[in-house]
């Protein structure tokens, strides 16, 4: 689909690394590998906020016969860990696998932190970069970074979920804010390897609802005649307070045979309540190469029973990667065919949609509401 407003709003070239939290502890040559996957919210002043994941990487992770990883330490701050090059698989420039372990163990050549950027009310221009409100690791369960914010405003509170990465666990953590800009860490709310958690933007019968997606290296076979593939699924959980979560027993969105999401899928934007029900955008991945092709699809859920799907569009994507957008910075690309949609805000006749483009930059798209009418071609 083509839209009248579809642009990159922020890229690695827009970041001043003199504000980098990593440089508080170590003086090392780094660059911005990606500024992407932005959470999106409307601020009290009417402007929009994108909470950008900044992946800051080593210029030279390999020096001689050694390779290095960035890690945050609660006592010593940011550190460079050194490993013999012959003890790792360093085929991926973003991470490397430590060999000789009974299971897969990875280290990162980059570390992610979050940067709040204020945009105009329609999201098409930058108003202010809030370097004074950077969100960086502050607990041991964040030693390898804070990733992929999703923001939902419920009543007067902004709830921001993030993925915190460490050797302890790969968990979902919650931050809250009353102004949309200054966030306080509330701690872990989902444990090991549950990614893409995002709160519904509102309660149902007084309860919080959220999309979740547990990950694993092992999945069990579906029955041979099943319409679904085994693998990752989007699930629904509920909570009395936003901190303690119970997964619902009913299955939700699964990778369906005949769809364009045969490799995996996961939550994207915060579900928002419309006259037709809860609208959510999510990503589906087609099996191709190592990473796959990421596209954005949508679903409409019953307002009173969010596990009841009124309409699921999993064949025709709303958004796909747009090479024309990244062409001016194509020399910085390290992935292609990836759009990862992470925010949705009502703007009257259209929705402002925020996405990460190719794990490199932030994309803003205005999508007319008519696109999400069931039966629309």
Distance CA 165, CA 137 (A): 9
Which has the closest alpha carbon to 120: 9, 286, 236? 9
The residues facing 145 across adjacent strands are 112
Residue of 169, 219, 176 whose CA lies nearest to 194 = 169
Query: How far apart are the C-alpha atoms of 240 and 175, rounded to whole Å?
Result: 17
pTM attached to this predicted model: 0.96
In the Cβ-directed half-sphere of 237, how many Cα atoms lie within 13 Å? Answer: 24
In order of 185, 276, 328, the CA distances from 331 in angstroms are 36, 43, 8
3-state secondary structure of 27: coil
**Residue owning tokens 């693998």:** 231
- pLDDT by position in tens, the chain (length 377): 889 999 999 999 999 999 999 998 888 899 999 999 999 999 999 999 999 999 999 999 999 999 999 999 999 999 999 999 999 998 876 789 999 999 899 999 899 999 999 999 999 999 999 999 999 999 999 999 999 999 999 999 999 999 999 999 999 999 999 999 999 999 999 997 888 999 999 999 999 999 999 888 889 999 999 999 998 899 999 999 999 999 999 889 999 998 888 888 999 999 999 999 999 999 999 988 878 999 999 999 999 999 999 999 999 999 999 999 999 999 999 999 999 999 999 999 999 999 999 999 999 999 999 999 876 55
Place of tokens 């020096």: 63
Domain 6-372, what architecture?
5 Propeller (2.115)
Most distant CA pair in the chain: distance in Å? 61
Distance of alpha carbon 252 from its chain centroid, rounded?
20
Give the pLDDT confidence score for residue 375 in this predicted structure: 66
Q: What is the domain partition of the chain in residue ranges?
A: 6-372
Q: Say which residues have a Cβ less than 8 Å from residue 290's Cβ, sequence separation at least 6.
A: none
Confidence at residue 94, expressed as pLDDT on a 0 to 100 scale: 75
How far is residue 319's CA from residue 110's CA, in Å, rounded to a whole number?
Answer: 28
Q: What is the pLDDT of residue 290?
A: 77
**Half-sphere exposure in the Cβ direction for 178 (13 Å, CA):** 0
Contacts for 171-177: CB closer than 8 Å, 24+ residues apart? 171/141, 172/197, 172/212, 173/141, 173/142, 173/146, 174/242, 174/243, 175/135
CA-based radius of gyration for the chain: 20
How confident is the model at residue 376, as a pLDDT? 54
How far apart are the two ends of the chain, measured CA to CA in Å? 10
SS (H, E, C) 21-46: HHHHCCCCCEEEEEEEEEEEEECCCC
> What distance in Å separates the CA atoms of residue 7 and residue 52, rounded to the nearest whole number?
16
Label residue 156 exposed, middle or buried (CB < 10 Å: 0-12, 13-18, 19+): exposed
How far is CA 342 from each of CA 48, 100, 246, rounded to the nearest angstrom? 14, 36, 23
Cα–Cα dist 89/127, whole Å: 42
Q: Which residues pair with 319 in a beta bridge?
A: 296
Question: Which CA distances in Å does 226 have to 222, 229, 233?
Answer: 6, 8, 15
pLDDT of residue 261: 82
Scanning the structure block, which residue is given the tokens 């009124």?
Answer: 310
Cβ pair 358, 338 in contact under 8 A: yes
Angle ∠(207,254,2) on CA atoms, nearest 5? 95
Q: Give the C-alpha separation, 10 to 7, whole Å.
A: 9
Q: What is the rounded CA–CA span in Å between residue 20 and residue 26? A: 11
Structure-block tokens of residue 20: 């980098």
Bridge partners for 126 per DSSP: 119
């Amino acid at each position: 689909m083509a839209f009248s407003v579809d642009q990159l709003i922020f890229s690695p070239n827009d970041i001043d690394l003199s504000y980098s939290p990593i440089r508080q502890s170590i003086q090392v040559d780094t660059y911005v590998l990606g500024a992407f996957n932005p959470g999106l919210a409307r601020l009290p002043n009417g402007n929009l906020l994108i909470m950008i994941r900044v992946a800051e990487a080593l210029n030279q992770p390999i020096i001689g016969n050694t390779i290095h990883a960035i890690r945050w330490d609660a006592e010593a701050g940011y550190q460079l860990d050194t490993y013999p090059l012959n003890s790792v698989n360093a085929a991926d420039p973003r991470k490397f696998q430590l060999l000789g372990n009974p299971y897969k163990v990875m280290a990162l050549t980059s570390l992610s932190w979050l940067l709040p950027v204020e945009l105009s009310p329609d999201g098409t221009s930058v108003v202010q970069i809030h370097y004074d409100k950077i969100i960086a690791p502050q607990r041991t369960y964040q030693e390898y970074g804070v990733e992929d914010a999703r923001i939902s405003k419920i009543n007067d509170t902004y709830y921001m979920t993030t993925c915190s990465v460490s050797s302890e666990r790969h968990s979902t953590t919650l931050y809250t804010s009353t102004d949309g800009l200054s966030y306080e860490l509330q701690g872990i709310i989902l444990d090991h390897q549950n990614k893409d958690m995002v709160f519904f933007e509102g309660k149902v019968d007084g309860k919080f609802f959220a999309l979740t997606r547990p990950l694993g290296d092992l999945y069990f076979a579906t029955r041979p005649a099943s319409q679904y593939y085994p693998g990752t699924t989007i699930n629904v959980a509920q909570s009395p307070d936003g901190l303690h979560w119970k997964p619902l027993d009913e299955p939700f969105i699964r990778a369906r045979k005949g769809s364009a999401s045969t490799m995996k899928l996961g939550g994207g934007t915060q579900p928002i309540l419309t006259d037709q029900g809860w609208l959510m955008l999510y990503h589906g991945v087609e099996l191709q190469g190592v990473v796959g092709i990421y596209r954005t699809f949508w679903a409409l859920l019953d307002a009173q029973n969010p596990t009841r799907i009124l309409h699921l569009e999993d064949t025709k994507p709303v958004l796909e990667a747009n090479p024309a957008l990244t062409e001016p910075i194509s020399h910085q690309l390290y992935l292609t065919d990836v759009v990862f949609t992470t925010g949705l805000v009502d703007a009257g006749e259209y929705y402002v949609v925020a996405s990460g483009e190719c794990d490199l930059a932030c994309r803003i798209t205005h999508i007319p509401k008519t696109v999400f009418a069931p039966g629309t071609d």
